Chains A and B, each alone.
Chain A
Amino acid sequence: MENMIEIKNISKSYHVVKKGEGIKGALKGLVKKEVKVIPAVSNLNFNIKKGEIVGFIGPNGAGKSTTIKMMSGILTPSSGEILIGGKNVKTHRKEVVQNIGVVFGQRSQLNWDLRLGESFELLRHIYRIDKTSFDEMIDTMDEILGIKELQDKPVRQMSLGQRVKGDLVAAMLHSPDVLFLDEPTIGLDISSKYALRKFVKEINEKRGTTIILTTHDLGDIEQLCSRLIIINNGKLVEDGNLEEIVDDIAPYKTLVVEYYDEQIPQHEKCEIISTEGNVAKYRFFKKEITAAKLIEDLGKQKAIKDVSIEEASIDDIIRIAYEGR
């Protein structure tokens, strides 16, 4: 399948000039500048195929939002290039922005003083969407998010969840092939989160929209993302599907066996990490032996009363990935 997004060795550092306050500060700023360089992203490379849902995750300050902004044409990279639908974001900005939608969970793009429907109508003119496709899109969105009941409500009177729904629809109106969602679930309650996830799944299935989302919510990742890209300190640390990453970071499992007495048998393919009375914990590598075989072997040596298997949780995996092992 073709690549929808190609990130070629991009880096970005911010140059922060200390801003002065008032007139004096303004004049001072014109004369001498104190510049501080803050590296945000360095030498990032990845491709995203058409129709993928990618979780773009990393700890606070990792450079996720910076990367999303660069991909959506809001920021220019300090070096490297970004292609979306084969077009360079920097040189074909106008065409690229017609083909992408962006939602920032933290700030709305809707017009505070207008009713939601009026905001949409304005966007219809900005993106030059004809009335039929516009109405069709609103209908589709209404099925997924129930947006029509909100159309007459002024945006400033909306709850966070309603506003995010409005933002999602606003980002989809011009039928973009790519949708960037930067922490869309932040601050949402369970049912709004559920609606958002449903939205992501459905537009991905029905329209084949390629979706990149950043989130700190593990539920989002588990339920939505076929692929994860993890960055830390502006660098790529992991890229693959969830299971691959789990296998890579935590290639072992722990088998907990309870026997009838305190005589604990050993096994050559695993190591005992702890024993407590008649309970033993064996750590084994998934590649070397299966849990079933292990239980069978151990059971031949001693009668087993009970077993359970411990796996690293997604939480742990991601924390380990963030901390860079």
Chain B
Amino acid sequence: MTDKVLTRITVNGVLHERWVEPRQHLVDYLRDELGLKGTRSGCEHGVCGACTVRIDGDIVRGCLTLAVQADGARVETIEGVSDSGEIADLQHAFLESNALQCGFCTPGMLLTADALLKSEPAASREQIREHMSGNYCRCTGYHAIVDAVESTRETRRLAGCGGDRHE
């Protein structure tokens, strides 16, 4: 087996220094090393989006990224953005629209939707559907997810904060 590598990753604002196996994926690092179970593993081959996290502000698939690739980077997970309140409006909209059932896909959906609303503050319903297509949901039928993202787009537009990155 390959030797472990020392990695320094700032996860949700906390610096973690760990020896990790070079083959370990970021999603497993977060879940197994740090106990951050909110990031889910749905397919382990980059298709479903359940493992979505942010590295240095951009969303990535935690199952396609190795932990060592995040060395020196800032990683944010659903736990971090929930604690900071950064996507509270989107989370609220998901509840109000019942845009989740089992909730397994939801952390990934939320981070993906938030990334869209930040890059495309005026995204149309079709654009939302298009953008969310890399995130699978087996429960909802997507309609309510699209509703929730649309309604957050509106609240953010009214609040004049669309496009803001809370950094």
Q: Do A and B come from one complex?
A: no
